[in-house]
Chain A
């Protein structure tokens, strides 16, 4: 996935809050390289919960292919921006 990051600070904050609550990591600061290996608790089920919460928070809809991808945080931001544009 290309990495043309244009996510607004407001959306960045919204995404960070989703991660902080879902993974119970109050102090988490997201970096684009973070992924399922580096964030404790980012397993298959929590990945689905994460995508559902992002759908709801950003009022977007993910496809099966979106769900199946191995995404890091940077990829996720690009995907969200793409859905919002």
Chain B
């Protein structure tokens, strides 16, 4: 039995209500994604984690998301709205952040919405462009790892406010079994809006699942605009009506988000909306159900 099967079994044992969802999701992974999942689990197992701990981390985050979903459906808002309310209990709490990041990484295999976003990124990531690549908030490191393996940029930089997140990303990128080149990436611990050691422009700017974590997402989009040039590849993801322990900025409609992007001077080149499973986009908006979004943007 594979490690993925064993992990799935442990998750279902701990959280039976998830059985159908996770079984269907794993069954829809293609061969390459199954290999990636096995590789990632092996990475975790060779870096001090057990399958039991991984399963517990995943179930803990599912339960935390459910608690926030319960709050959201009861109140119509996210529980928190300021960075200071969530920073110490999430980003700067190494113990929680580790659990959160490992679970989120696994969600790329176990949640169809996260997998669709990942597939979309893979489908539009330029393969032969050169220059400087910047990722704001690499989190668990999966997108940065993917870019390092598949794209051909000259230098890759990941910046994050969470030291734990950077440690986890570094560990993934340094794992020789993953196969990432060792010479052309660096990780910086800083606040994107306050960082003063960046290049004037970047040829690729990636920002996955950040906007919903900040009080002023427009400021982040404005800074991306300032750091981009007319040919830059810009990729951002976020979510609508998607409560989580550290989501503080609520997007309720696609229009609200698209207007904010356009106000920053950015143009939407490609978009992917992933509605709630079994619902249309309109139904998901109407019923205030979680929607994931990915955009390729340009400065033009």
Categorize the interface residue count of chain A: 10 to 19
Main secondary structure on A side of the interface with B: helix
Instruction: Out of B15, B70, B276, B289, name the residue touching A67 (CB < 8 Å).
Output: B70
Are B16 and A35 in contact, with the CB atoms below 8 A? Answer: yes
Instruction: Out of B20, B63, B67, B69, name the residue touching A45 (CB < 8 Å).
Output: B69
Are B66 and A68 in contact, with the CB atoms below 8 A? Answer: yes
CA distance A62 to B69 in the complex (A): 13
Residues of chain B within 8 A (CB-CB) of A64 are 63, 67, 70
Q: How many A-B residue pairs have CB under 8 A?
A: 45
Query: B112 CB to closest chain A CB, in angstroms?
Result: 13
- A36, closest chain B residue (CB): B17
Question: Contacts A48-B73, A49-B73, A52-B74 hold; do A43 and B20 have CB atoms under 8 A apart?
Answer: yes
Query: A21 CB to closest chain B CB, in angstroms?
Result: 16
Residues of chain B within 8 A (CB-CB) of A37 are 16, 19
Mark interface residues in A54-71 (1 if CB within 8 Å of B CB, else 0): 010000001010011010
A42 an interface residue at 8 Å Cβ cutoff?
yes
Main secondary structure on B side of the interface with A: helix
Instruction: Out of A43, A49, A55, A62, name the residue touching B17 (CB < 8 Å).
Output: A43
Question: Contacts A43-B21, A44-B21, A45-B289 hold; do A70 and B70 have CB atoms under 8 A apart?
Answer: no
Mark interface residues in A26-59 (1 if CB within 8 Å of B CB, else 0): 0000000001110000111101110110010000
Are B67 and A44 in contact, with the CB atoms below 8 A? Answer: no
- A70, closest chain B residue (CB): B16
B150 an interface residue at 8 Å Cβ cutoff?
no
Mark interface residues in B247-283 (1 if CB within 8 Å of A CB, else 0): 0000000000000000000000000000010000000
Residues of chain A within 8 A (CB-CB) of B20 are 43
Mark interface residues in B270-300 (1 if CB within 8 Å of A CB, else 0): 0000001000000000000100000000000
Question: Contacts A52-B73, A52-B74 hold; do A47 and B17 have CB atoms under 8 A apart?
Answer: yes
- B17, closest chain A residue (CB): A36
B62 an interface residue at 8 Å Cβ cutoff?
yes
Residues of chain B within 8 A (CB-CB) of A47 are 17, 66
